[in-house]
Structure 1
Amino acid sequence: MQISFQAFGTYNQIMAEVDCLPLLEECRSLCEAIEAKFSAFQPTSAIAEISAQAGIRPVAIDEETFFMLKRAQDFSNLSKGAFDITIRPATALWGIGKKGDFVPDAGDLEQLHELVNYKGLVLDQKNGTAMLQLAGQQIDLGGIAKGYAADRARDHLIQNGCSSALINFGGNIATIREKQNGESWQIGVQNPLAKRGEFIGTVSLTDQTMVTSGVNERFFIRDGKRYHHILDPRTCRPADSSLLSVTVVGNRSIDMDALSTALFVLGPDEGAKLAKQTGCHALFILTNREIFATDGFTKMLKRKV
């Protein structure tokens, strides 16, 4: 039994091996509510209001919004800015996937460096507020919203007695226990240079989540150079980290969502250090086609022959 729906700018699917269609529909509604609440494109969302009041005043937020912003801030600190939800001015300027082969002027990118700075987000838990310190700063939770939604859907299913399910939100995978036949869920690791559905191998997941960040989803080529959508907040340009993709496996999808982006921006050496620090398993596919993985991921991966 399964449902499919559009949200977070992508195709989403939940498949359960038990009869629980009403629960699946509740998960769909839950995801739609999360998208509406945390989208940077919804003018009535708290996120949009925080951006609109940047440099002016703090904005009152609820506990859920505080949690999202604090979790994002935690990963910004852990990655030393390789993951940064204040990246929105840069993603808007580039408009990858919307502006053809447009490449911003170096001067315009230089002006963004002051705005793209996670340290400019001030969270006040006592007063329940959030504020961006500089006018022009903007927040985009697109780097963790799908992961958060996958976690919420997974938790909702478990709390209501669903004993076996697979959640796939645009490549953010979350699993509930095993398949009903007792086998682990077999999840393919996308080949970043091939069409969707072509894998370099598979991993077995049970009560785990897997997220991939790569150059194959949104990009354009200009003068022989590939410009992809994963921007380095430190340069406001597409990350130049010698990587085609990063796949991470862990326990919470919101964390893996942030980490897959951070590890991609950091590159294989610094990325592997952060993976070890946070306890996730990671696989890096380099631009020279080499594959590098942490010990944990190496043990999980079954390579395609």
Structure 2
Amino acid sequence: MTKELTLSLIGGGNMATALATGLIGKRCAAHDVHVIDPNESVRAAWQERGTTVAATPDAQLAGRRVWIFAVKPQHMKETVLSCRPFIQPETLVVSIAAGITGATIAGWLGTPERPWLRAVRCMPNTPALIGEGITGMMALSGVSEDDKALAQQLLRAVGEVVWVESDQALDAVTALSGSGPAYVFLFLEALIQGAKNLGLSDQQSRQLALATLHGSTQLAALSPEPPATLRERVTSKGGTTAAALAVFEQRQFAAIVGQAMLAASDRAAELAIEYAK
């Protein structure tokens, strides 16, 4: 894609910063980016990077090809409504606000009779902050193939992307990759504490746990075999791994994970209803 990219980041926090780090100097210049944030210190930091800034939505929005909403869900409605007067026919809207459905975004940007359908809803995760994220993406019906390619390019600045077809599928993405880092961190905490209980030092426990998780996920990513086969190869009959896995099975580890993900997905759907009010 060779067209000039002009971009407005509505909300200048961590995720917006991560996106800009992946884009400025590679896909656009700093002066092509306009950041809107009410926090004066946040705006000052962006100005130092060479972007334009504003405390509230202003006329510069009208000249930006892509709007990325990166605000907290509870502030999304008022923010969208304050930006709506500046929307143009060619504006592509990208939302990374959790829990706001595509239909809700379209209604806020347009009218009940003519919702704004040139929008992409996204669910990134926190590893995006180091360029190692993965984002679930859903395009509304007014998004062209060129728009999709552009939105995908933007989010690939912070990691991988996966396209889904519905808000319900994006709730599942939320339950897996959106909330997933917290599950991994919880497991990591448990591994470290378990090692300390067995007599290893804090430093030893942390180093061993981190390397084990990193190496195992890399092996799974690079191997053509499914995780179940890789697990079986580590597990000798009657051995130490078999003894540990037997405890996981007795406590129904897989069922617990599934129940947790269902709770996350259900909560995402509930929040969508709450935020739409």
- Give TM-score scaled by structure 2 length: 0.24
Higher relative contact order (CA 8 A, sep 6+): 1
More helix by share: 2
More strand by share: 1
- Give TM-score scaled by structure 1 length: 0.22
